[in-house]
Amino acid sequence: MSNAPLMPMATAVWLVENTTLTFKQIANFCNMHEVEIQGIADGDVAKGIVGYNPIMSGQLTREEIELSSKDESRPLNIKTYNVNIENEEKKIKKYVPLSKRQDKPDSALWLIKQHSILKDSQIAKLVGITKNSVTSIRSKNYWNFNNLNPKDPVAMGLFSQKDLIEAIEKAERRIKREKKLKEKVAAQ
């Protein structure tokens, strides 16, 4: 048995009224019983239900109906579409409670110490603080620098490990580009 079409009863009404298909073919296509299709044809079942055209909705083709009309043993095949649904997760800035906000400069300090190749702007974007704050932490001029304790931002849930890896890879690509550029300038 194939997948049922949208609105099977209304589709069955349309097929009974507009095709020469057998009751069995319509019943199999609509996942209904043959007796129900007989009742639709006799006007006992589905009174007042408007027929739903499966060709207009793209579930059947005229050719499919004609092929099955010519061969009573041939079942109707619903036209299926492979729809690719992509899950594009949009980054949503989530609210950071007051108690966790002090963790941001601590996380920035951790990133500066552990991943010195990251630019200040990358750290600022990852952690969610200003670039000026990151620059002042790096230069030890941050207003509260003496009270900072380096903390792993991934472990604290400020961002994912994937975000950190992507940022590090981006920084590595930037360093390679800069190195090639210096070599090119030195060779001239």
Q: What is the pLDDT of residues 109-135, one digit of tens each?
A: 999 999 999 999 999 999 989 999 999
Cβ atoms of residues 153 and 107 within 8 Å: yes
State residue 158's pLDDT score.
86
Virtual torsion, Cα 173, 178, 179, 183, nearest 10 deg: 140
pTM given for the model:
0.50
Structure tokens at 150: 């380096």
Does 160 map to a domain? yes
Domain check: are 151 and 109 in the same one?
A: yes
Residues 48 and 113 placed together within one structural domain of the fold: no
* Residue range(s) defining the domain that contains residue 175: 98-187
Whether 104 and 63 map to the same domain: the answer is no
Statement to judge: residues 118 and 171 lie in one domain: yes
37-51, 58-72, 80-94, 138-152, range with the lowest pLDDT? 80-94
Residue 86 inside a domain? The answer is: no
Classify residue 158: in a domain, yes or no.
yes
Residue at 2 is within a domain? no
Whether residue 2 has pLDDT greater than 60: no
Q: Are residues 66 and 104 in the same domain?
A: no
- Is 175 a domain residue? yes
16 or 99, higher pLDDT: 16
Band of residue 102 on the pLDDT scale cut at 50, 70, 90: confident
Q: Are residues 48 and 121 in the same domain?
A: no
Number of domains in the chain: 2
Closest CA to 127 of 86, 97, 99, 157: 157
Residue 179 lies in a domain: yes
Q: Which residue spans within the chain are E strands per DSSP?
A: none
pLDDT at 1 over 50: no
The Cβ-side half-sphere exposure at 53, using a 13 Å CA radius, reads: 6
- Is 111 in the same domain as 179? yes
Q: What's the pLDDT score for residue 188?
A: 78
Residue 83 has pLDDT above 60, yes or no: no
Q: Looking at residues 96-113, what average pLDDT do you find? A: 87
Q: Are residues 114 and 65 in the same domain?
A: no
In this structure, the answer to whether residues 62 and 109 fall within a common structural domain is no
In a domain, 80, yes or no: no
Residues contacting 17, CB < 8 A, separation 6+: 51
Q: Are residues 114 and 64 in the same domain?
A: no
pLDDT digits (tens, 9 = 90+) for 38-57: 999 998 888 888 888 988 88
Same domain, 165 and 112: yes
**Does residue 48 sit within a domain?**
yes
